[in-house]
Structure 1
Amino acid sequence: MSGILDSVNQRTQLVGQNRLELLTFRLMLKQRYGINVFKVKEVLQCPRLTLLPNLHRLVKGIAHIRGKTISVIDMSLATGGLPINDHENRFIIISEFNRSTQGFLVGSVERIVNMHWESILPPPEGMGSSSYLTAVTEIDGELVEILDVEKILNEISPVNEQMSDETLAQKPVITKKGAGPNKVLVADDSSVARRQVKRAVETLGYEVMLAYDGRDALNQLQAMALEGDIYQQVALVISDIEMPEMDGYTLTTEIKKDTNLKDLHVVLHSSLSGVFNESMVQRVGADAFIPKFDPDELAAAVIKSVKYQDN
């Protein structure tokens, strides 16, 4: 199992081609789940866990791994299932999300599957706001669920969503309606991320349009372009990278090659590794990349993009 990610660096060629690789795993029941390999740092058998006072009920304990202390979250319990027992015979997926590293305790880890984002579909309608799914797919005739890890982490340790006074002092002046673009399109498959970005952008005075994946975002933009000059309607596009059907890299590529959309500013906003994404920003033509989620950094990116377009 320790060698399951040895060739992860060779997989970067998949990015930008609307492809990904899923690491599949199971919790306590037969249902299969998946996580993007690029969010996984390591997979190992669960080490001895240390219990500390006042831990969140979803945190099974603290693990000391390679000189670092990492919280280990019971993924089954976090999604409303049975707690995972028999820890020493289970596995943890060490993952980096939203600037933090944590371990997810799972029942078993299976294999890595090469997928196309078009095969990753939004969850069924009617799941409700309490659902932990961001997407589903089918592997070997079996449904595989992709969990909203950002929602799980936000329930354990909510991020600060308030902008600083210094950032608010730089808030742009939004002129009256009709004088210029006053809408920002936000594309993200996570309900938590959409809410966070929406709140931040609205604080700056912009109207927010929401898209649930890259294809939804592209369809909305192309429909608006048919109705009139897109640059008088949309000030900026803020997109997640990991999304069903069409990822953020592919969305950016499609925007930049569309003659009616090519000059729109695109900011990629992701929980994936910042170092890796900086190179991909240039490759696909995005205008900026910021890691999730810091309201001041997000606001600064919006303000910078708007000022650039006004010059």
Structure 2
Amino acid sequence: MAEDKTLQEVMTRTSLSNSNQMEMLTFRLTDGQLYGINVFKIIEIVECPRRLDRLPYSNPAVRGVVDFRGNAITVIDLARSIGLQPVDFINTLGYLVVCEYNNQLNAFLVSSPEVLLTRSWGDIKKPNGFEAPSLVAIAYDDNQEMVLLLDIEGILSEIVGLADDFDTNLLEQERAFLRGKHVLLVDDSNAALMMMRNTLSQLGMEITEYHSAVRALEDISGRVMGDKLPDFNLIISDIEMPGMDGFTFTRSFRALEGFGGIPVILHSSMSNPTNEMKAHEAGATAFIPKFDPNVLVRQVYSCLSS
């Protein structure tokens, strides 16, 4: 079956990693549109059971919980989460794409998995004027059919909630040290930017946000051309972004003159040792997984105080 082949390919290719490419699994929801998700976040794809244990008082997109390798994980209907008709897994066959985001397992219910695509981050675009709360970018498959890339972090933030408060045991002198420091945040996800902004603003830090690594690098390069001294103390960048990934952004930033002492933190919802190794190889000061506000605050202080 085509689905069986897709499952085998996912299991094989999740071990792959390329600093300037994205492996995506494409799938369809109830509108028939082609959607995509980063393959490196996928643990397994399984058929959805006809019966799910419901969770009372949960978001309507939460269809219940399912046992996965002895763990109860939440099943989120991706179609319903973005305003489409829900997947009818009782009367028709549905599939669960089990993923790890922010050190948490979730099962995303889809109508049907399709094929795996490899695309350069430069081929993944966010067109001008493209604004949708649940989408981050578009790509095209080999038949030139548009693939919509979902903002899974934003969907999770809305449905299950992600904390942005940190423990209050930070010493006052540490808070005073961070107060007024200027940090550049680079991330294509509005939800990720909001969570970082909410956390760091509690420390009194000044924040400048970029939705694109390309735009951030252009602005920083403009400072070099204008012989302007850097007015920021730290960069925190996502890794998986359309147009330019975080590894390429970090290498390009490190090649600029006059910014050698500014730390760069790369973060990702794909919290694996390979990403951490590649982050350091690209010139990052540190790598942290998304999204633990305590880890973020500790790493920010560590980088700025070193």
TM over 0.5, yes or no? yes
1:161 has 2:164 as partner: yes
* TM superposition score normalised by structure 1: 0.89
Q: Secondary structure at the match of 2:10?
A: coil
1:40-59 → structure 2 map (5 Å cutoff)? 40-47=42-49, 48-59=51-62
Q: What's 1:264 paired with?
A: 262
Separation in structure 1 between the aligned mates of residue 53 and residue 178 of structure 2, nearest angstrom? 52
Matched, 1:217 2:222: no
Q: 3-state DSSP class of the match of 1:290?
A: strand
**In 2, distance between residues paired with 1:211 and 1:55?**
33
Partners in 2 of 1:304 and 1:226 — Cα distance? 30
Deviations 1:236-277 (A, max 9, x none): 000011111001111111112223434321101211124332
Aligned alpha-carbon RMSD (Å): 2.0
Residue 152 (structure 2) aligns with: 149
Are the structure 2 counterparts of residues 99 and 10 from structure 1 closer, same or farther at C-alpha, using a change threshold of 3 Å? Answer: closer
Q: 1:108 aligns with which of 109, 112, 121?
A: 112
Structure 2 residue runs without a partner (length 5+): none
d(CA) in 2 for partners of 1:26 and 1:123?
22
- State the distance in 2 between where 1:119 and 1:263 align: 32
Unaligned regions of 5+ residues in structure 1, if any? Answer: 177-181
- Tell me whether 1:80 sits opposite 2:78 in the alignment: no
Shift of 1:56: 2.6
What is the one-letter code of the residue matched to 1:292? Answer: K
Q: Name the aligned partner's letter for residue 129 of structure 2.
A: E
Query: Does the 8 A contact of 2:125 with 2:139 survive in 1?
Result: yes
- Structure 1 counterpart of 2:30: 28
- Which residue pairs with 1:119 in the alignment? 123
Q: Give the residue type in structure 1 aligned to 2:157.
A: N
- Residue number in structure 1 paired with 2:11: 6
SS at match of 2:278: helix
Query: Percent identity, aligned pairs only?
Result: 33
Q: Secondary structure at the match of 2:302?
A: helix
Q: Provide the residue aligned with 1:286 in structure 2.
A: 284
Read off the aligned partner of 2:153 and give its amino acid letter.
Answer: E
| Contact 1:274-1:290 within 8 A present in 2 as well | no
Q: Is the 8 A contact 1:187 1:214 kept in 2?
A: yes
The question of whether the paired residues in 2 share the 8 Å contact of 1:39 and 1:96 is answered with yes
Deviation for aligned residue 1:5: 1.5
Question: Is 2:271–2:290's contact at 8 Å kept on the other side of the alignment?
Answer: no
2:21 corresponds to which of 19, 29, 33: 19
1:28 partner letter: T
- The one-letter code sitting in structure 2 at the alignment partner of 1:265 is P
Deviations 1:180-237 (A, max 9, x none): xx42110001101111112222222222111112211211211123334544x11000
- What is the aligned partner in structure 2 of residue 179 from structure 1? none
**Cα separation, partners in 2 of 1:83 and 1:173, compared to 1, 3 Å:** same
Residue number in structure 2 paired with 1:306 = 304
Q: CA deviation at 1:174?
A: 6.0
CA contact (8 A) 2:48 2:89 kept: no
Between 1:244-253 and 1:256-265, the stretch displaced more is 256-265
Distance 1:4 1:277 in 2: 21
